[in-house]
Amino acid sequence: MVKIGLVLMLVTGWLAERLRDAAAWPINLVRDLPVRLGRLLRLLVYGVTGLGRLLADLFQPKPAGWGRTWRGRVTFGLHHLGCYLFDLIGGPELVQFVMHLAIPTTPLTVTEMHAAATILGPTALRYGEIRVAEGGVLRFIFRANKGRAFALWHTVHLPEGSRSDLSLLVHEITHIYQYEQLGSIYIGEALHAQWTLGHEAYRYGGSQGLKQAQREGKPYHKYTREQQAQIAQDYYRLLNQNDQQAIAYEPYIQALRKGEF
């Protein structure tokens, strides 16, 4: 009898989560419409003015590297356009609905939420919407990517056995914060940094590097998406070790809390 009750709880719990995932699509479609539409309209204005500049440049003598610069601007524009349209139709919610069918997910625990809120701020992002995915088909993905955790939209994907590492969770939730502030473009930007810079995409020089960067006036948003998340992760770790090096991180953590990505 106890066994049947347990199975029933597991089945209804799973169904309730799938219904929650399905409901997230229309809810976020409406709730995030102003911010998603705003991003798209700003990009269109940028695109129209950019087109004007391109046409004006066509009639000028071409400086060295002219073609490369324009190719970069067009790639940037198309990447943003694709992501903004994808967000506008609720693509993130639809893909997560399908992914969660194959990967077991659970909400953040109170301890995990508290850890992230300590660094990012209690109202920085929609913590209740975050799900942690572990196991299932993820095992094959982690075999291919050498066990590297990653965050897609509102889902943190963790290799088995790494959930107790709260600093890693802070890193991944910083990516979710980037998603809420910037939209899906953060995924392409983080992957681009990983592919072009390798491990350097994460390195920022520790506390000494941040002190130096502060002297030079380098703002938080100039760091790569991976460095931004790594700064949050390392700050959490140092804070918990009562390490004085954490002080050097504070101006950057303040910018992070304000969502200055």
Site for Zn ion, rule CB under 5 A = 226, 229
**Nearest CB to Zn ion, comparing residues 83 and 193:** 193
Count of CB atoms situated within 10 Å of the CB of 44: 13
E strand intervals along the chain: 105-107, 131-133, 150-152, 155-157
CB of 179 to Zn ion, least distance (A): 12
Longest dimension (CA), the chain: 83
Residue at token pair 């918990």: 240
**Nearest CB to Zn ion, comparing residues 24 and 119:** 119
Report the C-alpha gap between 44 and 76 in whole angstroms: 13
CB of 253 to Zn ion, least distance (A): 17
**Nearest CB to Zn ion, comparing residues 226 and 234:** 226
**Nearest CB to Zn ion, comparing residues 87 and 226:** 226
CB of 202 to Zn ion, least distance (A): 7
Per-residue DSSP letters for 161-181?
T-TT-HHHHHHHHHHHHHHHH
For residues 127 and 180, is the Cβ–Cβ distance under 8 A? Answer: no
CB of 229 to Zn ion, least distance (A): 4
**Nearest CB to Zn ion, comparing residues 156 and 229:** 229
In degrees rounded to 5, what are phi and psi of residue 150?
Answer: -150, 155
CB of 187 to Zn ion, least distance (A): 11
- 60 — alpha (psi -120 to 50), left (phi > 0) or beta? beta
Residue at token pair 């609720």: 90
CB of 166 to Zn ion, least distance (A): 15
**Nearest CB to Zn ion, comparing residues 108 and 229:** 229
**Nearest CB to Zn ion, comparing residues 36 and 225:** 225
CB of 226 to Zn ion, least distance (A): 5
* H-helix or E-strand spanning residue 82: helix 66-88
- 82 — alpha (psi -120 to 50), left (phi > 0) or beta? alpha
Count of CB atoms situated within 10 Å of the CB of 228: 27
